Amino acid sequence: MTEGVLRLDAHGTSTPAQGELARWGMLLFLVNEGMLFATLIASYFFLAVANASWPPAGVEKPPLTLPLIMTAALLSSSGMLVIGERGLRAGSRTRYRAGVSIAIALGVLFVGLQTKEYVDKLRVIGPTEHAYASTFYTITGLHGAHVVFGMLFLAWALVREAKGASPRSPALKNAALYWHFVDGVWLVILTSLYLSPRWA
């Protein structure tokens, strides 16, 4: 790695080489996170095949009302983030700030709805009740933690933008990439944990 890769220009922004390094670093990180979720979901389906009844007898299939609202919130947040990014590229920092702020607010809504889902579900089954409960809480809880981290990441991007970061800033691009990844993972979780039990 050469010294030029890590050097900032006169305006304090990253050089093209540093931006490329940051992009590949984020992509490799997301591949790692994707493999983690893939392993957990594969374990969920392995247990589903190994058990005659999945969810176990006496356990209701996950209700869809809250998860579908949560899905709408996350998909809308990605849409608002894209609008904000396009606004920034067009020279509108106000549109970027509005788009990212709304995305964060929709993330807060998602976490709030997931908390309500957990409160309702914990009245019936706990995370140590059986393998189904353990995998359900582990997968959805881990994703919820990623949503929270994603909101913090977006908030950090807002701070960087307020300090004059350019539309090509690795901080802004990586924050958006991470958020879209989190949204994509949720669609896989929705299909696997909430919809697939209804197809059996």
Amino acid at 54: W
- The mean pLDDT value for 161-185 works out to 92
- Tens digits of residue pLDDT in 92-131: 999 999 999 999 999 999 999 999 999 999 999 999 999 9
pLDDT above 60 for 68: yes
- Average pLDDT in the chain: 90
pLDDT above 60 for 1: no
Class of domain 14-198: mainly alpha
Bridge partners, 8 (sequence order)? 14
- The mean pLDDT value for 164-191 works out to 93
Q: What is the DSSP string of 14-47?
A: BPHHHHHHHHHHHHHHHHHHHHHHHHHHHHHHHH
Note the pTM of the prediction, 2 decimals.
0.88
Cα separation, 156 vs 153, in Å, equals: 5
Nearest in space to 181 (alpha carbons), one of 50, 36, 44 = 36
CA angle 129, 135, 139 (to 5 degrees): 135
pLDDT above 60 for 43: yes
Q: How far is CA 103 from CA 24, 33, 92, in A?
A: 24, 21, 17
Q: Specify the pLDDT at position 7.
A: 44
pLDDT above 50 for 9: no
| CA torsion, ordered 42, 139, 158, 24, to nearest 10 deg | -20
Nearest in space to 137 (alpha carbons), one of 129, 85, 184 = 129
Q: Specify the pLDDT at position 13.
A: 54
Nearest in space to 117 (alpha carbons), one of 70, 172, 60, 155 = 70
Q: Which residue has the higher pLDDT, 113 or 18?
A: 113
- The mean pLDDT value for 55-78 works out to 94
pLDDT above 50 for 11: no
Q: Specify the pLDDT at position 111.
A: 98
Q: Specify the pLDDT at position 200.
A: 66
Counting beta carbons within 10 angstroms of the beta carbon of residue 148, is it exposed (0 to 12), middle (13 to 18) or buried (19 or more)?
Answer: middle
- The mean pLDDT value for 180-191 works out to 98
- Per the CB < 8 A criterion, the answer to whether 101 and 78 are in contact is no
Three-state secondary structure call for residue 60: coil
Cis ω for the linkage preceding 127 (within 30 of 0): no
Cα separation, 200 vs 52, in Å, equals: 11
Three-state secondary structure call for residue 8: strand
Where are the domains positioned within the chain? 14-198
Q: Specify the pLDDT at position 20.
A: 81
pLDDT above 50 for 12: no
